[in-house]
């Protein structure tokens, strides 16, 4: 049974990270380090990863060599040492999701974008979207945070985040969602950093004021679709990589306990974990975007009810995949 669990986790990792050198290293809490290569996932030893379910992300170079990663205590280089300037993250008690993005035209530099919070759980004013600027050539190649402080882009933000390349071939988009309304906020990121004014799309369901309830947000590998898990179900959107605008396509009408979602590598299929009585994983065929066709294709491909520690596995799928597979953008 445990072998089945390992194979299942490996399959999910492989689907998310296939053929993407910058995404090859996945580092989880309790010092789990997985390399996703052409032949599938391999477990590696080291470096140290601080505990905690949230805020895990990594960035590799174009050859697949680990450059830096983020754990619950901040940013570390490939040797496990914290970057010079890591103190600017000290006021973030709850890093929820983060994404590493290369700075265009500056090969050694990166922007690390976060949804984060302080411990004041009930106050939306401290549910932030922000970033820091990193240079891995600084501090004699050990890496450093160049930002003098954590740069806050916006408050009252949900703890979901995703990114994809811009249609111009050099820049990126970072996608987040505001609390209490239907506003997607899509930030263009260029060589000058994240823009202060996002592209706003009013579409999809209205969020509550709880930053914790939205479950997942992902771009397709082609960058032209987005799936969001919220309010117990999932929604599919078209994404315009030139303008940053989203358009609603579909809402799953039957599901009320959805936890996480992921596109297949060729973007034809969508896989969704559902915390129903059997803890299903469902597959949907997206080839025909018609609502009836999508629902007719719905197939249960896995049931987690009889697997020991199934809730822990669901936690890994719904939180670690958010923090890790979406934390390094689709390339």
Pairing of strands 280-285, 299-303: antiparallel
CA–CA gap between residue 31 and residue 304 (Å, rounded): 25
Q: Is residue 270 part of a domain?
A: yes
pLDDT digits (tens, 9 = 90+) for 106-160: 999 999 999 988 766 667 777 899 999 999 999 999 999 999 999 999 999 998 9
Q: Which of 18-27, 52-61, 225-234 has the lowest mean pLDDT?
A: 18-27
Q: Is residue 331 part of a domain?
A: no
% of residues, the chain, pLDDT over 70: 82
Residue 101: closest CA among 114, 88, 117, 116 = 114
Q: What is the pLDDT of residue 316?
A: 41
Q: What is the pLDDT of residue 314?
A: 40
In this model, does residue 163 exceed pLDDT 50? Answer: yes
Host domain of residue 148:
2-324
Q: Is residue 330 part of a domain?
A: no
Q: What is the mean pLDDT of residues 95-103?
A: 90
Q: Which residue has the higher pLDDT, 304 or 3?
A: 304
Q: Which residue has the higher pLDDT, 7 or 327?
A: 327
In this model, does residue 100 exceed pLDDT 90? Answer: yes
Q: Is residue 172 part of a domain?
A: yes
Q: Please answer whether residues 275 and 257 qualify as being in contact, where contact means their C-beta atoms are separated by less than 8 angstroms.
A: yes
pLDDT digits (tens, 9 = 90+) for 140-153: 999 999 999 999 99
Which residues 6+ apart lie within 8 Å of 73 measured at CB? 50, 82
Q: What is the pLDDT of residue 247?
A: 98
% of residues, the chain, pLDDT over 90: 54
CA–CA gap between residue 323 and residue 59 (Å, rounded): 12
In this model, does residue 81 exceed pLDDT 60? Answer: yes
* Tokens found for residue 71: 């754990």
pLDDT digits (tens, 9 = 90+) for 250-278: 999 999 889 889 999 899 999 998 887 77
How sure is the predictor about 166, in pLDDT bands with cuts at 50, 70 and 90? Answer: very high
Q: Which of 118-122, 124-128, 244-248, 298-302 has the lowest mean pLDDT?
A: 118-122
Q: Please answer whether residues 218 and 263 qualify as being in contact, where contact means their C-beta atoms are separated by less than 8 angstroms.
A: yes
In this model, does residue 322 exceed pLDDT 80? Answer: no
CA–CA gap between residue 302 and residue 117 (Å, rounded): 35
Q: What is the pLDDT of residue 280?
A: 86
Q: What is the pLDDT of residue 217?
A: 94
Counted domains in the chain:
1
Q: What is the mean pLDDT of residues 62-78?
A: 92
Q: Is residue 329 part of a domain?
A: no
Q: Which residue has the higher pLDDT, 102 or 29?
A: 102
How sure is the predictor about 46, in pLDDT bands with cuts at 50, 70 and 90? Answer: confident
What is the value of pTM for the model shown? Answer: 0.85
In this model, does residue 18 exceed pLDDT 60? Answer: no
Q: Report the alpha-carbon angle 320-325-326, nearest 5.
A: 105
Q: Is residue 26 part of a domain?
A: yes
Q: Is residue 273 part of a domain?
A: yes
Q: Please answer whether residues 99 and 115 qualify as being in contact, where contact means their C-beta atoms are separated by less than 8 angstroms.
A: no
Q: What is the pLDDT of residue 315?
A: 41
Q: What is the pLDDT of residue 131?
A: 96
Q: Is residue 120 part of a domain?
A: yes
How sure is the predictor about 29, in pLDDT bands with cuts at 50, 70 and 90? Answer: confident
Q: What is the pLDDT of residue 30?
A: 73
Q: What is the mean pLDDT of residues 80-84?
A: 95
Q: Which residue has the higher pLDDT, 217 or 51?
A: 217
CATH number (domain holding residue 18): 2.120.10
Chain Cα centroid distance, residue 145: 21
- Cis (ω within 30 of 0) for the bond into 56? no
Q: Please answer whether residues 263 and 236 qualify as being in contact, where contact means their C-beta atoms are separated by less than 8 angstroms.
A: no
Burial group, residue 305, by CB count within 10 angstroms (0-12, 13-18, 19+): exposed
């Amino acid at each position: 049974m445990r072998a089945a669990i390992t194979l299942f986790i490996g399959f999910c990792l492989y689907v998310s990270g296939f053929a993407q050198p910058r995404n090859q290293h996945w580092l989880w809490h309790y010092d789990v380090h997985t390399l996703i290569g052409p032949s599938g996932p391999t477990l590696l030893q080291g470096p140290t990863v601080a505990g905690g379910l949230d805020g895990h992300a990594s960035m590799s170079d174009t050859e697949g060599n680990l450059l830096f990663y983020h754990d619950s205590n901040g940013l570390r280089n490939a040797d496990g040492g914290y970057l010079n300037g890591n103190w600017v993250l000290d006021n973030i008690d709850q890093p929820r999701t983060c994404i590493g993005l290369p700075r265009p035209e500056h090969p050694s530099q990166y922007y690390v974008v976060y949804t984060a919070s302080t411990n004041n759980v009930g106050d939306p004013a401290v549910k932030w979207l922000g970033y820091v600027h990193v240079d891995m050539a600084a501090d004699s190649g050990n890496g450093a945070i160049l930002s003098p402080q954590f740069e806050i882009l916006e408050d009252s933000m949900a703890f979901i985040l995703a990114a994809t390349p811009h249609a111009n071939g050099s820049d990126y988009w970072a996608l987040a969602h505001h609390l209490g309304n239907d506003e997607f906020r899509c930030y263009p990121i260029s060589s000058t950093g994240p823009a202060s004014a996002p592209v706003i799309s009013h579409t999809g369901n209205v969020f509550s004021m709880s930053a914790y309830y939205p479950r997942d947000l992902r771009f397709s590998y082609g960058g032209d679709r987005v799936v969001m898990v919220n309010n117990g179900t999932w929604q599919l959107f078209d994404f315009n990589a030139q303008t940053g605008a989203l358009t609603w396509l579909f809402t799953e009408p039957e599901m009320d306990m959805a936890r996480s979602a992921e596109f297949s590598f060729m973007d034809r299929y969508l896989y969704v974990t559902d915390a129903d009585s059997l803890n299903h994983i469902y597959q949907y065929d997206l080839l025909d975007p018609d609502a009836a066709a999508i629902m007719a294709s719905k197939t249960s491909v896995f049931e987690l009810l009889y697997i020991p520690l199934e809730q822990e596995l669901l936690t890994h799928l719904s939180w670690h995949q958010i923090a890790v597979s979406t934390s390094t953008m689709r390339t």
